[in-house]
Structure 1
Amino acid sequence: MRIERLSVGLLSAVTLVLGGTQAGCGQPEHESPETPGEEQGTSTSALSYPNGSGRTVVSKRVVYKDGSGNYQAAPGFEQFRAAGAPDGDLHNIRIAEVDAPLTREAIVLMSSGQKMSSSGHNSGVTGQGASWDATCDAVSCPNVTLDGRSLAMKLRSLGWFPTGSTYLAVVNDNNFDHLFDSGKKQQLLNGFVGWTQAQIRPETRSIYLAGSSRGGCMVMRMAQALRANPAYDGIDLYVSSFDGVCKYTQGELGTSGEKINNPVRPWGTFYGGWATDLSAQFPRKGRLRMYHIAGGEEVAPASGIRAFSAYSGSPPGTGSNLDWGWYKQTWVKWQHKEIGNPYTEPSSSDQPRVVSETIDAQLTWLDAFL
């Protein structure tokens, strides 16, 4: 192994607020937990990875407003507008290209979760701070700082995907809104997929997608589209989901209204994931590797907004850690926002363990394949 091993205990679950409740979306949270959580879990271990260097970037709107207030497709992001989503929704999508070399042996794209208020939010995946959008105007957001402790900056510093031959971008706001109708979500998704495909070169050999919360659902759905295309059969596809949230009332990612309980959920809580037969969602699994870290805390009370959970055969009442070769899933006891923001949301005493079971756990998993 490249880095000194750090022993870690049981996994845990976490909460990042998407905002607002959705009437009629979920089962009432009044059932009794079957068994106190932690003793049901299995132990795991992750390597401890060093922090990267912070970086200041410009986050661009994929559709911007010109001096006359008219919407225009931003250069390099034309695929979003071509996919048909309304300009007003596309204007909220902001992406920072961290590295954009001409040679692109690898494509790395990472997304934060859904932005629900007028202010931004921290992301342990992309590295953006809570006030990342403070400088945004009608065209871009200059001077967005990415934290060196984030997944994006840690991975960049490790050099597994060399900066001279890797296209690296972070999606600061994907606007992949949980409440949008299925048609609009598909248009937005088509834009992200089209943009990703535009980065692929003849020399591209690997794509790595990572996202938290709604970003986690989005990268899983992007992976569906990419893996379904035989043109990319020669490209390795890696996907990291941090408590990815899909809307089960729309059947996103094959989710249903059947809840799989988190086996390590804290006593008195009802953490769990909406069940999906994930194998059926990915009939073409060649060169595909996915890792989902699931907590399953309901994002807003009585909203039904929670992470997905895979199963094989029939959905179990209580889940377990999974490793199917092409797909891995581990349960954690942390809140949703702690999973997405492990450097800012947990207590200082819990932060090392949360980081180990989220950011560093994903890096350990990826390390095994690279």
Structure 2
Amino acid sequence: MKRWNVGALVLVGTLAGCAPPESEALLLGEPEAALDSQSQALSYPNGSSRTVVSRRVVYKDASGAYQPAPGFEQFRAGGASDSTLHAIRIAQVEAPSVREAIVFMTAGQKISSSGHSSGVTGQSSHWDASCDGVSCPNVLLDGRSLAMKLDALGWFPPGRTHLSVVNDNNFDHLFDSDTKQRIVNGFVHWLQAQVRPETRSIYLAGSSRGGCLVMRIAQALRANTALDGITVYVSSLDGVCRNSQGELGTFDTKINNPVRPWGTFYGAWAAPLPAQFPRRERLHLYQVVGGQEVAPATGIRAFSGYAGTTPPSTGTNLDWGWYKQTWVKWQHKEIGNPYTDPSASEQPLAISETIDAQLTWLDGLL
């Protein structure tokens, strides 16, 4: 499936440090990776920037009434209100009729009146400046992004891969559990409608709340036995699920970040992921986690997988075959967009441990 000139790849070192393995995980057959033995990340070239149209899945017509956008009718079937769906905007970058693979990438939560920049989708902080009640024309996707790098690599068949970018998923952390489930249902219905008889791979990627969304979508896809012949890959970058609602099984026990900067309290809410994903055939998940509190004194932070009856007090890198997790020192916004938020001197390492780490992981599986 892949076609790549290996001579153009550069090895870049990742995390250093060490921490003792937790015995419970080992007893369950879920191996942990020592922090100083983490695999190295490759450096991948940038893709080309692209300008796309991001459409609302439900739009307002001339009279102000809500209407389902053509091609997005499945979202209403999920049960979310039209006002909730109106905020969701998706760019179908490539939508061929033959679809051997489906690639779906989403930014994190839009938390202010301005847009949200993302190293996953490639959108700028003001991507939504041109939005109206129907669409957002002229949204620029940065060639350095995960979406555009992967598109340029051609690992999923060019001309036979459906590629969509979610600029705003409206998967609000503060929504009640029922509203969130209805939003997840809408995305799942829509993605399943993109599947064709020839589809063999689905790749989902997201940061922050987008990371939680793609994990929850993966739960639903893997639970659908009709999709058993399709391999599901998921990249999460500091994915944030709400612990007070038990999202993705998270609860109020913090696993400390073993490489957190001095004087910080970075850590992630414990998530018993083996119980969340009982069907793991053709399933591959990877979470890059920092665990900085997203906003002070809110308790909003990323999740950390663990196996066993009791979460460890301090995390280690995990590699369970179907689930991988690596800890990084970066702030939440730096993980979400390593091209704009870290200092210039630290950007290469941040990119290596986030965007390129995800590509290296995917590279080894395809």
For normalisation by structure 1, the TM-score amounts to 0.91
Distance 1:235 1:6 in 2: 31
User: Unaligned stretches of 5+ in structure 1?
Assistant: 13-39
2:347 pairs, out of 331, 351, 355, with 351
1:268 offset after TM fit, Å?
Answer: 0.6
- Give the Cα separation in 1 of the matches to 2:87 and 2:322: 34
Q: For residue 23 of structure 2, what is the aligned residue in structure 1?
A: none
Alignment of 1:85-100 (within 5 A): 85-100=80-95
Residue 191 of structure 2 corresponds to residue 186 of structure 1? no
Q: Which of 55, 75, 78 is the equivalent residue of 1:83?
A: 78
In the alignment, which of 139, 144, 147 is matched to residue 142 of structure 2? 147
Contact 1:60/1:139, CA 8 A, preserved across alignment? yes
Aligned counterpart in structure 2 of residue 198 of structure 1, from 177, 193, 196? 193
Cα separation, 2, equivalents of 1:82 and 1:173: 19
2:289 to 283, 287, 294: 294
**Which stretch shows the higher mean deviation, 84-93 or 148-157?**
84-93
Match of 1:340 in 2: 336
Q: SS of the counterpart of 1:353?
A: helix
Which stretches of structure 1, 4 residues or more, deviate above 6 A after TM superposition? none
Aligned to 2:36: 42
SS in 2 for 1:291: strand
Residue by residue over 1:325-355, the C-alpha shift from the partner in whole angstroms, topping out at 9 and shown as x without a partner, is 0000000000000000110111100100000
Answer yes or no: is 1:9 the counterpart of 2:14: yes
Residue type of the alignment partner of 1:6: L
2: CA distance, partners of 1:42 / 1:168: 35
- What does residue range 147-166 of structure 1 map to in structure 2 within 5 Å? 147-166=142-161
- 1:34 corresponding residue in structure 2: none
Q: What are the within-5 Å matches in structure 2 for residues 21-60 of structure 1?
A: 41-42=35-36, 44=38, 45-60=40-55
Cα distance in 2 for residues equivalent to 1:280 and 1:316 = 17
| 1:169-199 deviation digits (Å, cap 9, x = unpaired) | 0000000000000000000000000000000
Residue 302 (structure 2) pairs with residue 307 (structure 1)? yes
Q: Using the alignment, how far apart are the partners of 1:328 and 1:293 within structure 2?
A: 8
Letter in 2 for 1:10: L
TM-score normalised to structure 2 length:
0.92
- Assess, with a 3 A threshold, how the Cα gap between structure 1 residues 110 and 121 changes in structure 2: closer, same or farther: same
The answer to whether the 8 Å contact 2:269/2:303 transfers is yes
Q: Alpha carbons of 1:85 and 1:163: their partners in 2 closer, same or farther (altered >3 Å)? A: same
The answer to whether the Cα contact below 8 Å between 2:119 and 2:337 also exists between their aligned partners in 1 is yes
Count how many residue pairs are aligned between Structure 1 and Structure 2: 343
* 1:197 alignment partner, SS class: helix
- Aligned to 1:211, which of 189, 202, 206? 206
Aligned twin of 2:220:
225
Tell me by how many angstroms 1:128 deviates.
0.4
5 Å-filtered alignment, 1:234-273, equals 234-273=229-268
1:327 aligns with 2:327: no
Letter in 2 for 1:326: W
Structure 1 residue 4 displacement after superposition: 2.4
Counterpart-to-counterpart distance in 2, 1:366 and 1:133: 30
SS in 2 for 1:10: coil
Shift of 1:11: 7.0
| Paired residue secondary structure (1:210) | strand
Q: Does 1:362 align with 2:354?
A: no
Cα deviations across residues 2-34 of structure 1 (Å, max 9, x unaligned)?
Answer: 34232223179xxxxxxxxxxxxxxxxxxxxxx
Which one scores higher on RCO, CA 8 angstroms, separation ≥ 6?
1
| CA offsets 1:254-290 (integer angstroms, 9 cap, x no match) | 0010000000000110101100110110000000001
- Superimposed CA distance per residue, residues 187-228 of structure 1 (whole angstroms, 9 cap, x where no aligned partner): 000000000000000000000000000000000000000001
Q: Tell me what 2:29 maps to.
A: none
CA contact (8 A) 1:112 1:173 kept: yes
Query: Would the alpha carbon gap of residues 11 and 209 (structure 1) be closer, same or farther in structure 2, given more than 3 Å must change?
Result: farther
1:12-59 deviation per Cα after TM superposition (whole angstroms, max 9, x unaligned): 9xxxxxxxxxxxxxxxxxxxxxxxxxxx94354100000000000000
CA distances 1:72-94 after superposition (whole Å, capped 9, x unpaired): 00011111112111111111000
- Contact kept in structure 2, 1:8 and 1:43, CA below 8 Å: no
Q: Distance in 2 between matches of 1:111 and 1:281?
A: 21
